Amino acid sequence: MQYALMFYAEPGYAEALPEAERAEVRADFAALVDDPRCVASAQLQPVETATCVRVAGGRTLMTDGPFADTKEVLGGICLIEAANLDEAIELAAHVPTARFGGVVEVRPVVPR
């Protein structure tokens, strides 16, 4: 089964950590990307770089900033292949975001 893992955290949480923990964070993200179960992944640039697009009345409208103006922001995404939800949760629990005050949302992907 495929799941999307979406990482929500306060911007700059990793930069605020001491070097030893920052190295841990980098290593854990690298391990996730290297995991054979990780199908695709992307770290997103900060929300200041985001643009929201809507189409109305035949016109393309855009606004600066992320969809939701929240304290925790979407920082990255990962598509994984897992046997069941428990396996997906186990992978999600190892994402550094989860243990440094953030949240990893785990949602199954609609099969094509």
Partner 1 sequence: MLASLVGFLGDFDKAEDAAQEAFAIAAERWPASGVPPNPGGWLTTTARNRAIDRIRRERTLAEKIRLLPAPEAVIDEFDDTVIKDERLELIFTCCHPALPLDGQVALTLRALGGLETAEIARAFLVSEETMKRRLSRAKVKIKAAGIPFAVPGAQLLPDRLDAVLAVIYLIYNEGYSGRVDLAAEAIRLGGMLTALMPDEPEAHGLLALMMIHHARRRARFSGEDLVLLGDQDRSLWDHEQIAAGRAELDRAVARGGRGAYVIQAAIASLQTAGSIDWPQVAEMYRRLADLTGSPVVELNRAVAVAQAGDPAAALAAVERLDLDGYLYLHSTRGELLRRLGRHDEARAAYRRALELAASAPERRFLTRRLEEL
Kindly list the residues in this chain that would bind partner 1 in the complex (CB under 8 A): 1, 3, 82-86, 88-89, 106-108
Helix (H, G, I), strand (E, B) or coil at 25: helix
- Can you tell me the distance from the alpha carbon of 67 to that of 69, in angstroms, rounded to the nearest whole number? 7
CB of residue 4 vs partner 1: minimum separation in angstroms? 12
Nearest Cα residue to 30 out of 76, 99, 86: 76
Q: Which residue, 3 or 8, has its beta carbon nearer to partner 1? A: 3
CB of residue 74 to partner 1, shortest distance in Å: 20
Nearer to partner 1, 32 or 82 (CB): 82
Nearest 5°: phi and psi at 60?
Answer: -90, 120
1 vs 52 by CB, closer to partner 1: 1
